Amino acid sequence: MATINCLNEPTVATGKILQGQGVGVASNFSTATYPAIATGTGTILRADGTNYVASTATYPNTAASADIIYGTGSNVIGSLAAPTTRWQVGTRLNYSGSSPNWMNFAKEIYLYEEWINSAAAGALGWFTQNGGTATITVNDVVSPTVVGNVTLNTGTGASANAVVALGDNLRPMTFSGGRCVLTFLAKLTRLSTAASRFITTIGFISNSGLPFSAGVYFRYSDNANSGNWQMLATDASSTTTTNSTTAADTNWHKYTVDINAAATTATLYIDGVSIGTVGTTIPQATGTTHCCQPGCEIENASGTQGVSSSISVDAMWMYQLLTTQR
Amino acid sequence: MEYNGTLPAYYNFAKEIFLYEDWIQNASTGALGWNNTTASSGTVVMSTNVSPTVVGNVNLLTSTTASGRAGIALGTASMTFGGGRCIITWLCKLSRLSDAGSAYTAYIGYGNNGTAPTAGVYFSYAHGTNGGNWVLNATDASSNTPTNSSTAADTSWHKFTIDINAAATSAEFFIDGVSQGTVASNIPQAAGATHTCSPQCAIVNSGAAHASSSEMWIDAMQMYQLLTSQR
């Protein structure tokens, strides 16, 4: 029996390769084309929808057990090795700000609060304090998209204030040990006015009421910076204030404070949009005048106010990547 | 996604337990609801020893009173072993070393009573034991298997890790990731009060008045257990 196993065709389009078509069937050239040479170490063949071409990205030649493959640079596919320390067993994959990594509690701090609780202490054990006519309530603005919350209400009393903070006067944090990013999801229920004036602060704060001795925080009142948010850094009661052009409103917003590793600059964001930077008096020394904690505070101006003001807080998270493993 | 000790895996709360505490709070109960155990003027306080790299920490102080002690624990009888590999790491620091004038014993790991555990797996240190080097212990129903390490205690921050295998037939001890040795008997693994323990640290004065109070500072704790059978 004769077997025809090769196409009798003297020329063919560039890049096509001869392929078997089945036993007893004449071979033929591929529809897709292939590159003639393999340039670019680490590239692989990839279908572009019509032909096979070398990938732009390069890939590693080897992998170890439990490696995670990911983009380590522009058009470079690399790998993340499994952790080698015992205290990283059981830890999750997270994003450290520059690359994926296995969470390392000796080098990273992560706090998350949703206030899905019956008390303002929440899951993290928040310190709360309300002075004068101020009150603190929980789960008062719950909706399908607001799952648990705490609200700080001033009442109408002069200088009445309410605060929720992790630490009160113990002030568990100072900076320059590594990049630290804090976000509060919060909402003002009304804007400050001359008749019912209040001041609110969001971020890292140090005391249960103004003035703060240390912190990096958002500040709002109607009679400062035309009712736009201000950015403050305070160290040992010395404050640097930067004005933003973002007006306060009564919507839910994500208020983020991002302090760089050396604590030489703090960038503040609302809903992911930078509203400015503070570059001096970011607390970074030991001692109570230099230490602070995540917190929010609201307080009435002096004199009885016409109506109560409040700030509701839905959630908080904080991440710090220590520069040196502790 | 998390790393289960062998491979990346999606977290399964029916098969995995993960606890993490950093004490960035106003109270020593922390985020996990820790119990304080104190006696004879010992105290547990939140520390103001904060620095750029020590973000919140809790202090256990013995006082100078004879037998003064302070401990912190997640309950007293919340765990026993043999149900799956369990790894705990404490990030701790001793404020001073024990000496004849102010002798104390420090316990780091799992325990059950705020003092020398009758059930637990733990590091222990006292200046008069093993030449002041850390001792590796497993205790079940008051029966203790101590193993001497050759690592001297000091007053620096360290990560104290205990890795108990799935069957609880072996516990390997690490300081800052370096193995200190293994204990292979008396690892608690039965039900009942004499066999159960919980994550615990404690510092206990000897039975005489002391010249100095001694302290253990605790910055953070992490524990992970991968249950062998899904619960």
Q: Residue A8 — very low, low, confident or very high, per pLDDT cuts 50/70/90? A: low
Across the interface, of A85, A90, A324, the residue whose CB is closest to B177 is A85
Instruction: Point out which residues pair with B182 in neighbouring strands.
Output: B172
CB-CB neighbors (< 8 A) of B52 in chain A: 174-178, 263, 284
- For A244-282, the pLDDT digits (tens) are 999 999 999 999 999 999 999 999 999 999 999 999 999
| CA-wise closest residue to B42 among B72, B64, B23, B27 | B64
**Least confident stretch, A121-135, A166-180, A201-215, B113-127:** A166-180
Is 90 exceeded by the pLDDT of residue B74?
yes
Task: Take residue B148 and report the two structure tokens written for it.
Answer: 């001497």
Is 60 exceeded by the pLDDT of residue A3?
no
Residue in the block written with tokens 């309300």:
A130
CB proximity B9 to A under 8 Å: no
How many CB pairs below 8 A link A and B? 148
Restricting to B residues 139-178, those with a Cβ less than 8 Å away from any Cβ of A are 157, 159, 161, 163, 174, 177
Work out the average pLDDT over A16-41.
93
Q: Phi/psi class of residue B18: alpha, beta or left (left: φ > 0; alpha: ψ in -120 to 50)?
A: beta
Q: So what's the pLDDT on residue A7?
A: 57
Structure ipTM? 0.89
Q: So what's the pLDDT on residue A1?
A: 47
Work out the average pLDDT over A184-207.
97
* Percentage of chain A exceeding pLDDT 90: 88
Q: What's the half-sphere exposure (Cβ side, CA atoms, 13 Å) at B157?
A: 16
Q: So what's the pLDDT on residue A232?
A: 98
Is 60 exceeded by the pLDDT of residue A6?
no
pTM of the entire predicted model: 0.90
Q: Residue B116 — very low, low, confident or very high, per pLDDT cuts 50/70/90? A: very high
Q: What's the half-sphere exposure (Cβ side, CA atoms, 13 Å) at A318?
A: 22
Q: A86 in helix, strand or coil? A: helix
Is 70 exceeded by the pLDDT of residue A10?
no
Is 50 exceeded by the pLDDT of residue A209?
yes
Contact B55 A123 (CB under 8 A): no
Q: Residue A207 — very low, low, confident or very high, per pLDDT cuts 50/70/90? A: confident
CB-CB neighbors (< 8 A) of A324 in chain B: 53
A158 compared with A96, residue with greater pLDDT: A158
